[in-house]
Chain A
């Protein structure tokens, strides 16, 4: 491979993985000076009995100061303010976040406010606000997708101004990531499949986008091979402990990769589809990932071809002529989506037009596509994508993804 002219990479999250990983938490947190952690989670995780599992595992080692489980699906800065008050009132000194992306981001927000002091997260905005080490944060992901346990960002909604507050700081990297298969056992099959596709999207995009570098490449390729080997077994049979542990590892590795080399078209379009139509992130990722590869092939033929090696294994890679590898990689991802669709009884989505709201109406009406395409210009993921993405380009891709058809390559604008 050619070396990038410049890159930077930083990932310093202590990661523990294994069937008894949670039992290690008290010792590791004590080593960081922790005495009274607060557990941050949501009602779904609590109802699944996971908080009992967690408290049992760390029982006796640490004095749990509070359990804050009031994180709604659409968490915002007021939830953060509320959680930080609970933290301070109970004299906690660390956070153990147990949940998916929304819980982890909210926990990072609470940690900013609780560590730096203050009444509201609104007062912590602006670049350079976070200038020092925050209090310890341990993350126990209950989905294998977002990779937030490895990222240095927190996105917190400001519902009143309809904006998203973006916090980026190396101090937001958690101190500890705990990958324990007990945490993902209760996740329904169609969520296991969609969140894993989010992780696959992180790995693929970090491998072909403009900030790719040798360190993130290594993480991305291994994450891809773990997912392609273990996703179907984990979805078919949640009792497959090792398969679920593999997915948790892949998600964390893909998280570390994309936290450093960023994402492109798939997330650019996916963020906006999610925001406009209230579709879960993993759903958007499953559908859009093949299009990200197709759209960028003319710029990154070699890198996208190499993805095939990890997706399909050395034999298929070697048998496929170099020119045909990118398309074969796309085909593999489409096949994976199709298999997941069948195993989950149709709950794993294949194209935007088939996603339904709870009341059966289409979640992404075709008439919403032009608005989505326009709004992609305001999303940061458009910058690291190798090919330019203007609203006309976004609309063209969205129309294909809506109907579930292969991207018509003659319609990709490649410039002069």
Chain B
């Protein structure tokens, strides 16, 4: 046996995919937190969730993750990418990094991915459905139309979501998501 024939395996592409997924989850996490302060429908859905409700979305088996909790104030808060020490009531995991990369590069819509069994969901179904709807709304605000159309089942037309409101809310969500709070949460997770 020649030990030199077994060089270190470099993760290469996988690291890139994981880093990409990490950034997407960070932006979506912050975007969801911001959408809960801006969009009426998100506020309504969040009102129906129990206080202290914590959910995580991520990539099985080893991450990256994002964790969001409904705080005492009744608002959602993005807690970062560490799951350790948190009681997670709803755990939504994409089964592997390849599937996650396909979803996060919008080659498979979130709904189609669910129907294809790319997600494993642990927790109560009504809450999972509520979170999926919130993610759809966040994506509609965060992403340009040409990309969001691929991610959601129905991209709202001007009657469903008037352009004025869409652009105004989008601006507010971006400002909130990338506010100094972002650095604080990143710092706290390091």
Contact = CB atoms under 8 A, between A and B. Distances in A.
Nearest to B126: A378
A415 B111 contact: no
A47 interface: no
B3 interface: no
A163 B120 CA distance: 21
A210 B112 contact: yes
Contacts of B124: 163
B154 A414 contact: yes
A260 to B, nearest CB: 11
Nearest to B99: A6
Interface SS of chain A: loop
B157 A416 contact: yes
A329 interface: no
A414 B145 CA distance: 15
Contacts of B159: 413
Interface string A13-25: 0000000000000
Contact of B157 (A210, A211, A414): A414
B125 interface: yes
Contacts of A414: 154, 157
Contacts of A211: 115-116
Interface string A374-415: 000111101110111000000000000000000000000111
Contact of B129 (A163, A380, A415): A380
A359 interface: no
B117 A387 contact: no
A127 interface: yes
A127 B120 CA distance: 10
Contact of B125 (A380, A386, A415): A380
B57 to A, nearest CB: 16
Interface in A78-136: 126-127
Contacts of A413: 154, 156-157, 159-160
B158 interface: yes
A416 B158 contact: yes
A378 B130 contact: yes
Nearest to B112: A210
Contacts of B116: 5-7, 211
Interface residues of A, number: 25
Interface string A228-261: 0000000000000000000000000000000000
Contacts of A372: none
B115 A262 contact: yes
Contacts of B45: 377
B154 A8 contact: no
Contact of A415 (B130, B132, B154): B154
B153 A388 contact: yes
B145 A416 contact: yes
Interface in B96-141: 108, 111-112, 114-117, 120, 122, 124-126, 129-130, 132-133
B129 A378 contact: yes
A373 B126 CA distance: 14
Contact of A377 (B108, B133, B145, B156): B133
Q: Which 5 A-B pairs rank lowest in CB-CB distance, beginning with the nearest? A: A378-B126, A388-B154, A415-B154, A416-B157, A388-B153
